[in-house]
Amino acid sequence: MMSAAGTDADNDRRNVSDAVGVVVLGACAVWPLLSAAGRDGRPEGVLLAVLAVAAGYAAGRMSGALWPVAAPCVGALAGLALAAATPEVAAGPQFTTPLGHAGAVAALLILATGGVCCAAWATSVPALRFGLRALAAGIAVTGAATGSAMGCAASAAVLLCSLAAGRLRRRGPVVAGLALAATVVTGTVWAVAANVLPGGLTTALSDHLTERRVQLWRDALHLARHNSALGVGPGRFGELSGTASEVLLPDGKPHSAPLQQAAEQGLLGVLLLAAAFCWILYALWRSARSTPVVLTAGAALTALAAVAAVGDALSFTTVSAGAGLLAGLATARPWVAGVPQS
């Protein structure tokens, strides 16, 4: 049991991270309304995503406190079922390279793997821990079976990071490394859109990502440069992008979360998206949960951020809610016999 001083310090850490989260999510909800004002914008999708993250985070905090092993397992199985069903129910154009049928498939597989691995670290039963890790490996195989190469690779990477997390004692440097990794991926996407990489590298990436996706990114960056303050308004990229209008069944997305924020909500929209990710990492860093659980969740959410930077993952409410749920589970403080545990 924790001492009174330790309990007070833990409560202070949680209060600070919760307060930061309220401010960040509140700003993420208010800014789209301001950006949409007078521009015929449609902020409903952004507001729904913010609500999904908040609701998922709250649900994760509550369920993770009561059922630290069962709750992430149930969430992971739900995510796996949705990932398996998405290829059959997804409407609109399917960007099959490199994210399988949709960014949502890869994202759900990543979140499912993260949830299972967190549950494995939360249990003290060796046989159950082994079984959960075997399930995580099976989720990666499911990615290959559903045609999501990125989902398969990212899920395997999350599993490997989770195994390595058991040997780490200091979480701060690793959390900083996760933030750096997400920054590098986002910067690379921005560089491809701006066409500032060396010619050979740009060509290689464009061939892998498909020319249509790269052109969507460039349209988004063009709109962002001419509307850096407020953006063109939430939900208006599809109307103003020439590339998006050329698709037979357009979905109106640039297939990159940071570039979509830049185009539709301006520079402040990008900063708010970055602030939301940094808040989650901060909450994990300050979490009272064990370091392996925290770093496993951090690795999964960073992988999700990378997928969102090159795909449409955050356009799906289930993914936003799942991200909030995993963050909440990893920052919850389990209760045993009515007593909060560290």
CB atoms within 10 A of CB 159: 23
Q: Taking 70 as the threshold, does the pLDDT of residue 92 lie above it?
A: no
Task: Name the residue range of residue 182's domain.
Answer: 4-340
Give the pLDDT of residue 211: 83
Measure CA of the first residue to CA of the last residue in the chain; give whole Å: 8
Give the pLDDT of residue 39: 78
Q: Taking 60 as the threshold, does the pLDDT of residue 96 lie above it?
A: no
Model confidence, pTM = 0.90
Give the mean model confidence (pLDDT) for residues 36-63: 92
325 Cβ contact partners less than 8 Å away, ≥ 6 residues apart: 56, 57, 59, 60, 75, 111, 115
pLDDT in tens, 116-174: 999 999 999 999 999 999 999 999 998 888 878 888 999 999 999 999 998 888 899 99
Measured distance CA(232)–CA(224) in Å, rounded: 8
Give the pLDDT of residue 103: 80
Residues paired with 150 in a beta bridge? none
Q: Is-contact 283 90, C-beta < 8 A?
A: no
Give the pLDDT of residue 13: 65
| Amino acid making up residue 51 | L
| Amino acid making up residue 15 | N
Measured distance CA(127)–CA(40) in Å, rounded: 57
Pairing outcome for strands 339-340 and 335-336: antiparallel
Q: Nearest 5 degrees, angle CA 106-CA 110-CA 115?
A: 150
Residue 339, φ and ψ in degrees, nearest 5: -115, 125
Does a cis peptide bond (omega within 30 degrees of 0) precede residue 340? no
Give the mean model confidence (pLDDT) for residues 239-247: 72
pLDDT in tens, 186-217: 999 999 999 888 877 877 887 788 888 889 99
Residue 314 per-residue DSSP state:
G
Report DSSP letters for 110-125, one per residue: HHHHHHHHHHHHH---
Alpha helices by DSSP H, 166-210: 172-194, 199-209
Measured distance CA(236)–CA(82) in Å, rounded: 28
Give the pLDDT of residue 89: 42
Give the mean model confidence (pLDDT) for residues 47-53: 96
Total tally of structural domains belonging to the chain:
1
Helix (H, G, I), strand (E, B) or coil at 339: strand
pLDDT in tens, 1-27: 444 455 555 666 667 888 999 999 999
Element (H, E) at 77: helix 70-89
Residue 219, φ and ψ in degrees, nearest 5: -60, -45
Residue 340 per-residue DSSP state:
E
Give the pLDDT of residue 195: 86
Measured distance CA(20)–CA(272) in Å, rounded: 12
The dihedral of CA 274, 277, 281, 286: what is its sign?
Answer: positive
